[in-house]
Chain A
């Protein structure tokens, strides 16, 4: 059974204070690891897909990396508008379903 664990559950940062979110996973046959952002009252918004260890993707202040056991979402010089819940999910061998972690709630104070 695929499993995803995210840490920390919540993270408070000052504006400009860089940090990283962790996603540890176990999966039989990784077909893709996904990062999503979810704002209150909205559905998850797709950010990145990573397929193999060593792969990296960047978008504005966000950078996602992947190893064989975990993924990191690095946030560089965050702004208050980066405040949201960040979700990690994996697609393994069980068809097209995603298994999600519990998310990290990020709060960036001005």
Chain B
């Protein structure tokens, strides 16, 4: 079974621009979550989608948004990029998104904002 696929692997953007990251979950998985990983803050939860609905949202500004499509694929968007948005963005999926079920992560998109 193919794992979680994230594209692109690397991105370089300029302050003020916007960016869209893509995630294809493991086949059959309906829950998709997004996390931001930085050296200073570690892994932090952004949001979770299930059946095209956002079920949970972390403590990030409204510049961070996401969506999920009917085939469970997900995208996240960051508008008006700031230098502090430079991070590894990780997508994770699980079959039903039940509490206590493990998440399976992709290898991430490394975003650099200059």
Contact = CB atoms under 8 A, between A and B. Distances in A.
Interface string B75-93: 0000000000000001010
Interface stretch (A16-24, A64-72, A73-81, A97-105): A97-105
A110 interface: no
A59 interface: no
Contacts of A46: 102-105
B8 interface: no
Contact of B105 (A41, A45, A51, A96): A45
A39 to B, nearest CB: 10
Please classify the interface of chain B as helix (H, G, I), strand (E, B), loop, or mixed, using the class held by over half of its residues: strand
Nearest to B90: A43
Please classify the interface of chain A as helix (H, G, I), strand (E, B), loop, or mixed, using the class held by over half of its residues: loop
B66 interface: no
Given A43-B105, A100-B43, 8 more contacts: A36-B105, A46-B103, A49-B100, A89-B43, A91-B99, A96-B48, A97-B45, A98-B33
A107 interface: no
A32 interface: yes
Interface of A: 31-32, 34, 36, 41-46, 49, 51, 87, 89, 91, 94-103
A17 to B, nearest CB: 27
A96 B42 contact: no
B60 to A, nearest CB: 12
Given A49-B102, A95-B55, A43 B4 contact: yes
A68 to B, nearest CB: 16
A74 B48 CA distance: 31
Interface string B46-85: 0010000001101000000000000000000000000000
15 contacts: A31-B99, A32-B100, A43-B107, A43-B108, A44-B43, A46-B104, A46-B105, A49-B102, A95-B48, A96-B97, A96-B98, A96-B99, A97-B45, A98-B45, A103-B42
A46 to B, nearest CB: 5
A32 B101 contact: yes
Contacts of B108: 42-43
